[in-house]
Structure 1
Amino acid sequence: MEKIVSVKNDRIKAWKKLNNKKGREKQSAYLLESWHLVNEALNANQDIKVILTTTKQLSLHQNELSQYNGELIEINDEVANHLGSTITPQGIFAIVGLPSKEDINENNINGSWLLLDNIQDPGNIGTMVRTADAAGMSGVIFGKGTSSQFNPKVLRSMQGSQFHLKIIEGNLQYWIDILKNKNYQVYGSELNENAFIYSEIVPSENFALIMGNEGNGMQDDLLKITDKNLYIPIKGNAESLNVAIASGILMFHLKK
């Protein structure tokens, strides 16, 4: 097994750049951090190029890692701290190939979908993806302005649910047109008492739900092309609901 003990190693320098979009696109790969996410990727048969692990993590997960047939590299704590994006990295990482954009197209879109319109907080995004997973949704579309699914903070927040769903990054209007052509109901969400009360909507198998920006809500041009825009009545004195909480209420109601 190869061992790397210097942060000046050329491969370590290259992998450190996977924490930004330019580096990910150039190398067609992204960096996963923590045993939980690495294990989720292994179980989901993701395209893992390399696993990097400290001696401690190797001893803790030797049985599971023995099933991995790819390149395994031992690193020291200095390298782990350099690569990690948390204050105290666990000491295990995976270099994973970016999924092909051809894997998902208009011909294999089916089921229920959550669309994220300019959602920027990684914690909100992760909660929404995990909730979509729990609600039995088919996939999530990250629209323009939404933080990337490969952002380290977003990856940590999704906690592996991204491997249980289809994830797309793309233009929401393009995908809304495709879903409408499939006779999907496309629901928007807005803090507007004149919108449809969400509980009056009959649950279904095939639909799309759009959730908008934390502070500004959905873009006006998207609100205009939905079939119905949904409202969650506020019973107490709070001004509004957190977008991730609101998405959970809506998804669990809408999904048949």
Structure 2
Amino acid sequence: MNHLLLTSIQNERVKQWASLLDKKYRDRTGLFIIEGVHLVLEAFKSSAAVRCVVYNGERGIPHELEQLAREGGTEWVQATTQVMAKCTGTDTPPPVFAVLEKLKRDDKALFRDNSLVVVLDGVRDPGNVGTIIRSADAVGVDAVVLGKGSVDLYNPKTVRSTMGSLFHLPIIEADLAELLPEAQKKGIKLVGTSLQATHTCYSYDWTASTWLLMGNESEGLSEAVRQMADESVIIPMQGESESLNVAMATTVLLYESLRQRKYG
């Protein structure tokens, strides 16, 4: 396998890949970067549109990916450690990264019978959004919706923290002002969280079609979205802690819905 070797960070392709660290260029080109062996394997497994795979020429192709490299159909490129660092924005660059087309998402999953969907309203921390996507994947949620004001799904930190779950379920970017009323017309219950709620998350019935609305880390749900919620629940707390992080709170609520739906 004689793969092209890129050694200069001034190379045109290297500059293009490095620009994908910036949302503006991801939006313009419709491309994004994934890093590390696990994510590259997940991308191929899910038949995502992989444009090219770039590996550290000094270390060679990671053995888990050798078979994929032999199969052909995708361009493989060698690069120096310096080029790898430039394109991933990390001090210790991964052994491999890939350039992908943004994922095609079908919003039909939102309106399945008995759907369970997580809706994020202004959740800005990439680690939180990635963790919520992992939890949603683990519970078997139908889809995750990123409302305006939430972090970009294709932000490298978000992508890393999904640990590959972004390839496993539909993640849809949408305007909640349009989408939530549409869900209500279809009889879907919109459930938020509130410290003033009368239901705990354990006394609420999660078995019907439900969209769980989770808000910004410090502000909670925006006023407009809060007004649209049909119901709110509270996670009971026995100790001294004032609140749970949004990703942890979402996980607790999703697992209660799973318990009721599958283990009730």
TM tier, smaller? over 0.9
**Is the Cα–Cα contact under 8 Å of residues 37 and 62 in structure 2 kept in the other structure?**
no
Match of 2:129 among 125, 131, 140: 125
User: Are residue 237 (structure 1) and residue 248 (structure 2) matched?
Assistant: no
**What is the identity, as a one-letter code, of the residue corresponding to 1:211?**
M
Shift of 1:71: 1.0
For residues 170 and 154 of structure 1, do their structure 2 counterparts lie closer, same or farther at Cα, with a shift above 3 Å needed? same
For residues 114 and 36 of structure 1, do their structure 2 counterparts lie closer, same or farther at Cα, with a shift above 3 Å needed? same
Cα displacement string for residues 182-202 of structure 1 (whole angstroms, at most 9, x for unaligned residues) = 21111111222x442111112
User: Are residue 145 (structure 1) and residue 126 (structure 2) matched?
Assistant: no
Structure-1 residue corresponding to 2:40: 38
- Once residues 69 and 232 of structure 2 are traced to their aligned partners in structure 1, the CA distance between those partners, rounded to angstroms, is 48
**What is the identity, as a one-letter code, of the residue corresponding to 1:131?**
S
Match of 1:77 among 77, 81, 93: 81
Structure-2 residue corresponding to 1:186: 190
For residues 59 and 41 of structure 1, do their structure 2 counterparts lie closer, same or farther at Cα, with a shift above 3 Å needed? closer
Shift of 1:57: 4.3
Match of 1:98 among 97, 102, 116: 102
Shift of 1:106: 5.3
- Once residues 126 and 191 of structure 1 are traced to their aligned partners in structure 2, the CA distance between those partners, rounded to angstroms, is 25
Partner SS, residue 69 of structure 1: coil
**Is the Cα–Cα contact under 8 Å of residues 53 and 97 in structure 2 kept in the other structure?**
yes
Shift of 1:122: 1.3
Match of 2:216 among 213, 216, 228: 213
What does 1:8-19 align with in structure 2 at a 5 Å threshold?
8-19=10-21
- Once residues 146 and 223 of structure 2 are traced to their aligned partners in structure 1, the CA distance between those partners, rounded to angstroms, is 18
**Is the Cα–Cα contact under 8 Å of residues 119 and 145 in structure 1 kept in the other structure?**
yes
Shift of 1:166: 0.3
Structure-2 residue corresponding to 1:158: 162
Structure-2 residue corresponding to 1:4: 6
Query: Which sections of structure 1, spanning at least 5 residues, go unmatched?
Result: none
Match of 1:249 among 242, 249, 252: 252
Deviates more, 1:25-34 or 1:158-167: 25-34
Structure-2 residue corresponding to 1:177: 181
User: Are residue 21 (structure 1) and residue 23 (structure 2) matched?
Assistant: yes
**What is the identity, as a one-letter code, of the residue corresponding to 1:220?**
E
Q: Could you tell me the TM-score, scaled by structure 1's length?
A: 0.93
Identity %: 29
Deviates more, 1:212-221 or 1:83-92: 83-92
Shift of 1:64: 3.3
Partner SS, residue 47 of structure 2: coil
**Is the Cα–Cα contact under 8 Å of residues 214 and 246 in structure 2 kept in the other structure?**
yes
Structure-1 residue corresponding to 2:201: 198
**Is the Cα–Cα contact under 8 Å of residues 109 and 170 in structure 2 kept in the other structure?**
no
Structure-2 residue corresponding to 1:225: 228
**What is the identity, as a one-letter code, of the residue corresponding to 1:246?**
A
Partner SS, residue 191 of structure 1: coil
| Count of residue pairs the alignment pairs up | 253
**What is the identity, as a one-letter code, of the residue corresponding to 1:212?**
G
For residues 107 and 39 of structure 1, do their structure 2 counterparts lie closer, same or farther at Cα, with a shift above 3 Å needed? closer
- Once residues 197 and 108 of structure 1 are traced to their aligned partners in structure 2, the CA distance between those partners, rounded to angstroms, is 25
For residues 96 and 35 of structure 1, do their structure 2 counterparts lie closer, same or farther at Cα, with a shift above 3 Å needed? same
Q: Could you tell me the TM-score, scaled by structure 2's length?
A: 0.90
Deviates more, 1:82-91 or 1:14-23: 82-91
